[in-house]
């Protein structure tokens, strides 16, 4: 593990970072966690608020079974323990945009326990992040500070929406690994259909816990399980892009190192990341759990889950990213890296499999992950919206496999396909891009023919029409794919006509 820990050279020697993430994922659901109010993006302010969400006196929460199912599904996808009995607690805190005055969450007994996520790095290697727990909780509403110069408005549409908080162990050691973990987590959730993974809308956001320590300390922590070997952590709230996660960690680790090297100590606190400045700043000193005065919500019975229901949910799970990756590797002979890239989105893997049918699978993987991916990224397109469908890529690869075009020419053909010039075969024919206009290969065939048929060659010099015999031979040798113009030209030059 040491080899992948990022080291930062300080004035007083090297430091390492330790990272643990709490990811908040909005549950994909039509209704809220404890009320029937709709969940949706883009509704007018306070249009999706029931009396329960507004915390009117006497209103009682009723658990939304679908949200529990989504949490169980996610737990199974994280290879985690599903707790058949879990408890909803009140977390007391001043939430300006949650009228109850407390958040219903799960503290001691979450619905999902320990699990694991296998994460892919850009270089194709993998590492494991241990999951500590997943619990269900309510989201708060939103305070709007920019509607009026003198007042803050509150929009409660989001209040009561179901969140899954997924807490990792402090198993990440570099900003890149932390971002890769969130990426993989997102992929799993989207495959499962339990969260839409839209980070721009804040439907998936991470609280990033950062501490720093000297080399060797983390290994001691892993051996003993004792947090005393680690530094004090700071938590950076609500970071909602892979880039910001990395920037925030980098900044925060350096900030802590500087304080420690100046002889100071780190205060455990909650910080905010300012993307425009690339800095973190203090928001509040971190409450310890007891300060929230958690206690079981008397309005809600313990949540009891039937094991048969868990089994049924398990049986309904789609093929998950890790299984798909393993299958792509064994079925198509792909490298771990290629398979890892293809499975990041279900649609990309589906596209690949449709294109690879009966074709050189490795070659198809290259086209899908390189050329096509680059064009889609440049055009801001999802693979579902690709103007080139899998059969077009398959046809292009077929042309390469058949030797009609070289890989180099295929790039040109691909550009033309992307520009809408038509099907690959059509483009090759129209533009005369066949491989055999590569003169090198043809020259060799012609040289051999002339050497083996000296008599015929001499005859052609007498009777130029006889060149047709040589043309026929070259065509035969190239399986009819030679460009006749090029063949004639070359023959004339070689035969001295």
Q: Which residues bind ligand ADP (CB under 6 A)?
A: 18-22, 167-170, 209-211, 227, 230-231, 233, 235
Nearer to Mg ion, 22 or 350 (CB): 22
Output the smallest distance, CB 176 to ligand ADP, in A: 16
How many residues does the structure list for the chain?
A: 497
Adjacent-strand bridge partners of 457: none
Residue 230 contact among Mg ion, ligand ADP, none, beta carbon within 5 to 8 Å by kind: ligand ADP
Q: H-helix or E-strand containing 238? A: strand 234-239
Nearer to Mg ion, 22 or 426 (CB): 22
How many Å apart are CA 32 and CA 29, to the nearest integer?
Answer: 7
Output the smallest distance, CB 22 to Mg ion, in A: 5
Nearer to Mg ion, 206 or 393 (CB): 206
Burial of 375 (0-12, 13-18, 19+ CB in 10 A): middle
Nearer to ligand ADP, 167 or 259 (CB): 167
- First-to-last alpha carbon distance for the chain, in angstroms, is 72
CB closest to ligand ADP, residue no: 20
Output the smallest distance, CB 85 to Mg ion, in A: 21
Q: Reduced to 3 states, what is the DSSP secondary structure of residue 164?
A: strand
Nearer to ligand ADP, 165 or 426 (CB): 165
Nearer to ligand ADP, 25 or 210 (CB): 210
Output the smallest distance, CB 71 to Mg ion, in A: 16
Output the smallest distance, CB 76 to ligand ADP, in A: 21
CA 238-240-242 angle, 5° bins: 130
Q: How many CB atoms lie within 10 A of CB 335?
A: 13
Output the smallest distance, CB 232 to ligand ADP, in A: 7
Q: Enumerate the H helices of 92-202 as residue ranges.
A: 175-192
Nearer to Mg ion, 195 or 396 (CB): 195
Output the smallest distance, CB 8 to Mg ion, in A: 26
CB closest to Mg ion, residue no: 22
Output the smallest distance, CB 271 to ligand ADP, in A: 12
Nearer to ligand ADP, 20 or 340 (CB): 20
> Is 134 within 8 Å of 92 (Cβ atoms)?
no
Residue 170 contact among ligand ADP, Mg ion, none, beta carbon within 5 to 8 Å by kind: ligand ADP
Residue 353 contact among Mg ion, ligand ADP, none, beta carbon within 5 to 8 Å by kind: none
Residue 233 contact among Mg ion, ligand ADP, none, beta carbon within 5 to 8 Å by kind: ligand ADP
User: Which residues sit at the interface with Mg ion, rule CB under 5 A?
Assistant: 22
Residue 443 contact among ligand ADP, Mg ion, none, beta carbon within 5 to 8 Å by kind: none
Determine phi and psi for 80, rounding to 5 degrees. -105, 160
């Amino acid at each position: 593990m040491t080899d992948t820990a990022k080291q930062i050279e300080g004035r007083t020697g090297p430091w390492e970072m330790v990272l643990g993430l709490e990811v908040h994922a909005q549950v994909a659901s039509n209704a809220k966690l404890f009320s029937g109010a709709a969940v949706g993006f883009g509704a007018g302010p306070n249009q999706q608020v029931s009396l329960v969400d507004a915390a009117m006196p006497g209103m009682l929460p009723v658990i939304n079974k679908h949200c529990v199912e989504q949490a169980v599904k996610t737990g199974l996808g994280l290879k985690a323990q599903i707790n058949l009995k879990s408890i909803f607690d009140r977390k007391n805190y001043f939430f300006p945009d949650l009228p109850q005055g407390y958040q219903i969450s799960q503290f001691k007994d979450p619905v999902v326990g320990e699990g694991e996520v296998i994460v892919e790095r850009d270089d194709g290697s993998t590492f494991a992040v241990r999951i500590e727990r997943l619990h269900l909780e309510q989201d708060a509403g939103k305070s709007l500070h920019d509607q009026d110069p003198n007042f803050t408005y509150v929009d409660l549409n989001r209040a009561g929406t179901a969140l899954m908080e997924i807490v990792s162990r402090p198993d990440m050691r570099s900003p890149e690994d932390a971002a890769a973990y969130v990426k993989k987590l997102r992929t799993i959730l989207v495959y499962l259909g339990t969260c839409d993974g839209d980070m721009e809308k804040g439907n998936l956001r991470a609280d990033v816990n950062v501490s720093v320590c000297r080399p060797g300390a983390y290994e001691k922590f892993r051996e003993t399980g004792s947090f005393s070997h680690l530094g004090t952590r700071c938590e950076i709230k609500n970071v909602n892009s892979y880039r910001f996660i990395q920037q925030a960690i980098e900044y925060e680790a350096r900030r802590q190192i500087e304080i420690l090297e100046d002889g100071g100590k780190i205060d455990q606190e909650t910080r905010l990341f300012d993307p425009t400045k690339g800095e973190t700043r203090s928001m509040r000193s971190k409450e310890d759990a007891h300060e929230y005065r958690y206690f079981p919500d008397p309005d809600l019975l313990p949540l009891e889950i039937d094991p048969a229901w868990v089994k049924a949910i398990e049986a309904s799970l789609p093929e998950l990213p890790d299984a798909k990756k393993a299958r792509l590797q064994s079925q198509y002979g792909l490298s771990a890296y290629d398979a890892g890239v293809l499975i990041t989105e279900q649609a990309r893997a589906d596209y690949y499999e449709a294109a690879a049918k009966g074709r050189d699978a490795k070659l198809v993987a290259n086209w899908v992950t390189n050329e096509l991916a680059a064009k889609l990224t440049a055009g801001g397109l999802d693979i579902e919206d690709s103007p080139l469908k899998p059969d077009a890529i398959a046809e292009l690869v077929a042309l390469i496999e058949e030797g009609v075009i070289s890989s180099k020419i295929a790039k040109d053909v691909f550009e033309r396909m992307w520009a809408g010039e038509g099907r690959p075969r059509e483009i090759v024919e129209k533009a005369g891009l066949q491989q055999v206009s590569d003169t090198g290969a043809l020259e060799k065939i012609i040289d051999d023919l002339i050497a083996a048929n000296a008599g015929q060659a001499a005859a052609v010099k007498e009777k130029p029409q006889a060149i047709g015999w040589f043309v026929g031979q070259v065509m035969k040798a190239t399986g009819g794919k030679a460009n006749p113009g090029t063949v004639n030209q070359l023959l004339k030059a070689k035969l001295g006509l």
